[in-house]
Amino acid sequence: MDRHIHSSSQSARSILPAIAMAAILLLQGCATLNKEECVVADWRLIGYQDGVAGKSASTVGSYRKDCAEYAVIPDLDAYQAGRLEGLQEYCKVDNAYQLGRAGKGYATVCPADLESGFRLAYNEGREIYIARSVVKRTRARIKTLQTDLAHIDEDRKYLLVDLVSDGLKGSERVSIIYELSELGKEKDAIEDELDGLYDKLADQQAYLESLTQHASR
C-alpha cells in the first residue's frame, strides 16, 4: 500500500513540469518552445491545449522547428491525438456561440462531424455581434451630430451678439447674416439626419433585442 502511494506520488511529480509548461503556453498564446520545454514536453498535453484553443494542426510545425535545434523531435501521433481531444472541447456549440458573439474569428479546425453544429452556433452568435456593432455605430454617429449641433448653436449665439453690436459696418452685417443663414442650413440638415438616425436606432435596438431573446443559448 505504501509502495503504491509512493509510486503514484513520484509519477505525479514527474509530469508536473510538462503540465506547467503546457499551461504557460496556453496562457501566453505562443507556439514556441525553448530547450527545457522541448526536452520535458508532453506532446499529447500540448496538443490538447492547442485543440482547446482552436489552433491549426500546422502549429506543431513551429514546435518541430524550435525543437530541431536541440535534436528533439515532437511526437506527432501523441500531439495529434491530444489536439483531437482538445478540439472536442473547442468545437462545442456553446463555445462556438460565445466566439461568434464576441466577434472573434474562426479558422475551420473542427472535425467534420462537429463542423456543422459549430458553424450554426457561431453564426448565431456572430449575428448578435454584428447587430450590436451596428447599434454602436449609430449611437456614435448620433453623438457626433449632437456635438456638431451644440457647436453650431454656440457659433450662432456669438454671431447674434456681433450682429447687434455698435459700430458694425453694413458689409460686416451682411457677412454675419450670411454666416447665420449657412449655419441655419447646416443645423437643419443635421436635425433631419438625426431624426432619421433616431428611427433607425429604434429599429436596430429592437432587432438586437429580438436576436438576444430568441438566442438558443
How confident is the model over 147-176, as pLDDT tens digits?
A: 999 999 999 999 999 998 888 888 999 999
Q: Which residues contact 103 (CB under 8 A, 6 or more apart)?
A: 126, 129, 133
Q: Retrieve residue 162's grid coordinates.
A: 456681433
CA-CA-CA-CA torsion for 48, 50, 53, 56, nearest 10 degrees? -130
Report residue 110: phi and psi, to 5°: -75, 145
Mean pLDDT across 83-107: 95
Position 14 scores a pLDDT of 40
pLDDT at residue 11 is higher than 50: no
- The pLDDT value given to residue 76: 94
User: Which grid cell sits at 31?
Assistant: 507556439
Please state the φ and ψ torsions of residue 86, each to the nearest 5 degrees. Answer: -65, -35
The confidence score (pLDDT) of residue 167 equals 83
In a 3-state reduction of DSSP, which class is residue 153?
helix
pLDDT tens, residue by residue, 128-138: 999 999 999 99
Among 85, 86, 106, residue whose Cα is nearest residue 96:
106
Report which DSSP code applies to 69: T
Question: Which tops the pLDDT comparison, 26 or 203?
Answer: 203
Widest CA span in the chain: 109
Residue 183 binned pLDDT confidence (cut-offs 50, 70, 90): very high
Q: What is the pLDDT of residue 203?
A: 98
CA atoms of 186 and 174, how far apart (whole Å): 18
Our CA angle for 125, 130, 136, nearest 5°, is: 125
Q: Shortest CA distance to 21 belongs to which of 69, 66, 77, 57?
A: 66
